Amino acid sequence: MNSSFENMTIKDQGKVDSSYSRDTHSAFDHSLFPEVKTLRVRSTHFLVSSSYLSLHSPFFRDFFRSGEPLELDVDPVTFGDLLDLIYPCSKNNESCEPAEFSDRLDLALQLKLRYAIKRMLNEDRGDRPGIARIFIEHNAFESYKKHFTYPEYSQRYHDEAMKTTTVKRDDSDYLLPIIVTTDFADARTVCVGGSTFLVSSSALSLHSDTLRAAFESSYPSSGEVKLDVSEESFIIFLNVSAGIFPKEFSSRLLDDLVKLGATYLYDYGMDKMKNRVVDLKSEPRTEVAIELLKHYNNQTKLDQESFDSVTSTLSDSEMRKVLAACSFIPGKIRSDVEEKFLKNPQPITVTMRMLTGKLFEVTAEMGSDTTIFLLKKLVQECEEYLWHQQRLISRTGLSLSNECTIGSYGIEEGATIYLLPKLG
């Protein structure tokens, strides 16, 4: 189906937002959304789901119900950036410069776009007192003060901000939940297990290909849609559509996200779990690895490469725990894993040499089977370079690839490896 936004015509439309050419909110087809609105932002028009914005913002909930002209006198570029933050298209959105960040945060607070605010707060910004000042200017510091605990300086940020700001009592409603009601034009009933849920069909369609197809196939009927997923997974999915993300992803949740066709949330969850597996400081690495392996095993096609991507970062003792807990691992893969990881390899200690001439040693417990990626994580434990900022060079001048092992490069006990900062 062609993008309705790309082909739409609006009388007296002025300048039309053309960002559909990149992966933004405008790339989504809104044609079957019964509550789609054309929102004029100065000279630019945006096609939006009024229900989706209402779920994300008390401001828009009241705005679309007010009967007032659908116009906003704010900067359209900044507004478009905020839409990209709340639509499920920009999970890898690049951080903006401080001035742009300030503009985004200021407008997000003005429009009470709660998830956009939280997402920006999660970005590492140096001027925390300046950011706190923006919150106090919008009478919202109390609602978000838990984000200003680096490590115990919340009060300092608050005090510094108050020096230049007149503050009234904080009675903001940023954190109050917004519930779908029958007066939502796109309200539909979804049956999961023995429970029924009243949902915004537009909001869920943005996050789920399966639900979008189900809603479209029955349009304009408002009949019940049935789903074969767990209630717990569906409730988590509903929360995500309003910008509330889970802290943990189980194998069952990942399996259900595949059924829902919730591509963006699935990718987010997989990235989160894989990062926890490779994080040497993450205590429950084995538990996360087990959940990932269960998920891989439940898929129609078993992918040994996926299994290897998990097991290659685990130590010998961790791998023993995983194999003991994962009786479902097929025999051939199990025997390959056991042969590769449980043969008690001899540790190898290598010397890392930096451009400054500094030398330090790193011991790879898995010996020659240690991947370059894991070696970089070990270096990260010793030096300030994060693994993705490192470039490792052998004495013969070879650039070492993450997926290869030190054994494949002939690196042995006592060898020297050059550590260079990665450019770009």
Cβ atoms of residues 198 and 235 within 8 Å:
no
Of 200, 211, 144, 209, residue with least CA distance to 173: 144
Rounded CA-CA distance 256/295 in Å is: 10
User: Edge-to-edge, what's the strand order for the sheet holding 44-49?
Assistant: 15-16, 44-49, 36-41, 71-72
Q: pTM for the whole thing?
A: 0.68
CA–CA–CA angle 134, 139, 141 (5° rounding): 65
CB atoms within 10 A of CB 93: 14
* pLDDT tens for each residue of 238-269: 988 888 888 889 999 999 999 999 998 999 89
Per-residue pLDDT, 234 = 95
How confident is the model over 161-213, as pLDDT tens digits? Answer: 666 666 555 555 555 567 888 888 899 999 998 899 999 999 999 999 899 99
Residues 6+ apart with CB under 8 A from 159: none
Q: How far apart are CA 232 and CA 191, in angstroms?
A: 13
Q: Let me know: does 326 contact 294? Beta carbons within 8 Å.
A: yes
How many Å apart are CA 365 and CA 367, to the nearest integer? 5
- What per-residue confidence (pLDDT) applies to 93? 44
In tens, the pLDDT along 39-89 reads 999 999 999 999 999 999 989 999 999 989 999 999 999 999 899 888 886
Would you say the C-alpha torsion 21, 24, 25, 27 has a positive or negative sign? Answer: positive
Say what the pLDDT of residue 190 is.
94
The pLDDT tens digits for 366-375 are 788 788 988 9
Structural domains of the chain, with CATH: 4-125 (3.30.710.10), 187-254 (3.30.710.10), 279-341 (no CATH), 348-421 (3.10.20.90)
Q: Which two tokens stand for residue 102?
A: 């300030």
What local confidence, expressed as pLDDT, does residue 70 receive? 95
pLDDT of residue 98: 40
Residue 364 CB burial class (10 angstroms; 0-12, 13-18, ≥19): buried
Cα–Cα distance for residue pair 84/108, rounded to 1 Å: 12
Q: Is 4 helix (H, G, I), strand (E, B) or coil?
A: helix
* Digit-coded pLDDT (tens) for 11-50: 233 343 444 333 577 778 787 788 999 999 999 999 999 9
224 closest CA partner among 239, 211, 206, 237: 211
DSSP per-residue codes, 65-87:
HS---SEE-S-HHHHHHHHHHHS
pLDDT of residue 22: 38
Amino acid in the structure at residue 300: T
